[in-house]
Amino acid sequence: ICRDRDHCLHLVASSGRYTHTDSTIHGRVPFGYAKIGSVAAGVEPKFITNDVTHDPHMLDHEWAKALNLTSFAGYRLLASDGQPAGVLGLFSQRIITDEKDSLLEEIATTASHIIQAENAADRLQESQALFLMFMEHVPVHVFIKDDKSRTLFVNGPMIQSFNASTWIGKTVAELFPKQFADSMLADDQLTLQQGLRSVDEDLPVEDGTIRSFHTTKFRIDRENNAPLIGGIATDITMRKLAEEKLRQSEERLQTILAAMPVLLVAFNAHGSAVYVNEVCELAMGYDSEEFIGHRSLLHTILPNPADRRQFLMLFRAENGQQHYEGEITRKDGTHRRIAWTRIRGDTRIPGWSTWIVGVDVTDRQLAIELRQRTQELLKANADLQKSKRAALSLMQYAHT
């Protein structure tokens, strides 16, 4: 019984008196079983007997007697990796001499070569089928050209987008308008020179619209043959449209932020300023080039360590909206009082880890201080008048 089909000889061809392959005895032989199984397992390279009716290594003596068989020879057939591929066996009514053994061994060697070639052809065909299947389903545009920019291969997405099934043997000069073809031909030549190229290009597709592609081309070197050009193109039309919308949105946002009547400062994840608006420039006296990326300027604007510490705690806060009011020192040495507010952490702008807005409350503070001073002066005057009246009363009392 052959329990492991991967380690078992299966009769696949038979000629002469015994032409069927479904024998219960010879149809399947496990590796290592009897002499033919030992040959298959690599224990012995071959087996020859000139007494098949009595040799204990033979499987069916009665069958051999019924056919008047005298001899048997079995030769191992090898695959390309040196592993057993099968056994070539011969039953004969004549004795197998040394000369016949040598001839049969040569036939077995030839048979091994034929099997190896057939297996290689099967593997190549399977590999080609897998390659074509992959190319048909890969969600990018793939092409191959020769060194003259003639198309040799296109995959399914290329056919769908460009009707490229008609491209084989043609150059881009025959397939695209001149304004597109010239740049593509030039890029092909640069690819052959440099080995690898990546470009973003706008190309007309089958329906007449223009779509954007990110194309990577690479040189395929071949021994004793001119190199080829391989290419992979990804449709980035939607991405570019999204990028353009984002750019326009960011421009509108920058316009709005620049026009806001408050101070605005944005910081990146490293704590460096990446944006200040015009109101902030005017309030501090520094332009954006002096401010952005120069963390040491914070020591000049906030010379008081306590104020600086409070300010840093404000824009480094993890979550929530926080406030801080303090005094800054302008470039000209004057002072202004600013009420700062950190924008909530979920209000994100690309590149801005934290952003804060400030309101100049210097005038409000001056008004508060002036009112307090006025109140103090009024109180001092009232106290003075009270003291004056008390003094006059004492003087009048003394005179009387």
Q: Quick one: DSSP state of residue 372?
A: H
Taken in order 76, 77, 82, 84, the sign of the CA dihedral is: negative
> Which of 39, 28, 69 is CA-nearest to residue 51?
69
Four-point Cα dihedral 368, 370, 375, 377, nearest 10: 160
pLDDT grade, residue 27 (50/70/90)? low
C-alpha 135, offset from chain centre? 18
Highest mean pLDDT among 119-123, 210-214, 373-377, 380-384: 210-214
Count of beta carbons in the 10 Å neighbourhood of residue 220:
14
CB 74 within 8 A of CB 9: no
Q: What confidence tens digit (pLDDT) does each residue in 336-368 have?
A: 888 888 876 555 677 777 888 888 888 876 666
The percent of residues in the chain predicted with pLDDT above 70, rounded, is 80
What is the pairing mode between strands 225-235 and 46-49?
A: unpaired
Q: Residue 271 has which token pair?
A: 């704590």
Higher pLDDT, 211 or 91: 211
Higher pLDDT, 366 or 57: 57
Give the pLDDT of residue 230: 96
Interatomic CA distance for residues 158 and 170, integer angstroms:
14
Q: Collect all residues with Cβ–Cβ distance below 8 Å to 154 and sequence separation of at least 6.
A: 142, 143, 162, 164, 165, 167, 168
> Which of 231, 129, 114 is CA-nearest to residue 172?
231
> Of 159-163, 176-180, 304-308, which gets the smallest average pLDDT?
304-308
End-to-end CA distance of the chain: 150
Cα–Cα distance list, 194 to 143, 184, 218, 273, 354 (Å): 18, 15, 9, 41, 44
pLDDT grade, residue 1 (50/70/90)? very low
Highest mean pLDDT among 39-43, 199-203, 261-265: 199-203
Give the pLDDT of residue 26: 54
> Which of 234, 233, 248, 301 is CA-nearest to residue 273?
301
pLDDT grade, residue 134 (50/70/90)? confident
**Whether residue 25 has pLDDT greater than 60:** no
Mean per-residue pLDDT over the chain, rounded: 82
Instruction: Calculate mean pLDDT across residues 307-318.
Output: 74
CATH numbers and ranges of domains, the chain: 5-134 (3.30.450.40), 138-235 (3.30.450.20), 242-360 (3.30.450.20)
pLDDT grade, residue 56 (50/70/90)? confident
Instruction: Calculate mean pLDDT across residues 12-31.
Output: 58
Q: Collect all residues with Cβ–Cβ distance below 8 Å to 145 and sequence separation of at least 6.
A: 151, 152, 188, 228, 229, 231
Interatomic CA distance for residues 140 and 128, integer angstroms:
19
> Of 169-183, 205-219, 283-297, which gets the smallest average pLDDT?
283-297
Higher pLDDT, 321 or 210: 210
The label of the residue with tokens 């068989």 reads 69
pLDDT grade, residue 109 (50/70/90)? confident
Cα–Cα distance list, 367 to 129, 360, 372, 374 (Å): 86, 13, 8, 10
Highest mean pLDDT among 55-69, 216-230, 249-263: 216-230
Amino acid sitting at position 146: D
- What is the model's pTM? 0.51
Highest mean pLDDT among 66-70, 228-232, 254-258, 305-309: 228-232
Higher pLDDT, 13 or 343: 343
pLDDT grade, residue 315 (50/70/90)? low
The percent of residues in the chain predicted with pLDDT above 90, rounded, is 29
Give the pLDDT of residue 83: 75
Give the pLDDT of residue 2: 46
Interatomic CA distance for residues 299 and 105, integer angstroms:
94
